[in-house]
């Protein structure tokens, strides 16, 4: 499943956030219409938030010359 299809299948927890979620999806579609985003999926992340710091733009594209991460998917 492509990330776009996955994101469009998600729903906000609170119905009052539906308009904001639709705006986020529209922003995603506009930004990534020409290229696929770089996804970092951290399986079994638990409470480890260090990945968000370690894979920041400064640590990836500037320091190590790796692709800039567009999305973090952290699951446990």
In order of 18, 21, 42, 72, the CA distances from 10 in angstroms are: 11, 9, 19, 15
The answer to whether 19 and 9 are in contact (CB under 8 A) is: no
For residues 69 and 74, give the distance between their C-alpha atoms in angstroms, rounded to a whole number. Answer: 13
| Tokens 């710091």, located at residue | 53
Tens digits of residue pLDDT in 5-24: 988 998 998 999 999 999 99
Tens digits of residue pLDDT in 44-59: 888 887 777 777 777 7
The answer to whether 35 and 2 are in contact (CB under 8 A) is: no
Q: Is the pTM of this model over 0.85?
A: no
Average pLDDT for 55-70 = 78
């Amino acid at each position: 499943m492509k990330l776009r299809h996955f994101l469009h299948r998600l729903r906000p927890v609170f119905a009052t956030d539906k308009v904001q979620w639709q705006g986020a999806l529209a922003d995603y579609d506009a930004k990534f219409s020409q290229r696929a985003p770089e996804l970092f999926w951290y399986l079994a992340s638990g409470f480890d938030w260090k990945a968000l710091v370690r894979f920041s733009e400064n640590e990836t594209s500037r320091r190590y010359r790796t692709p800039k991460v567009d999305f973090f998917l952290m699951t446990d």
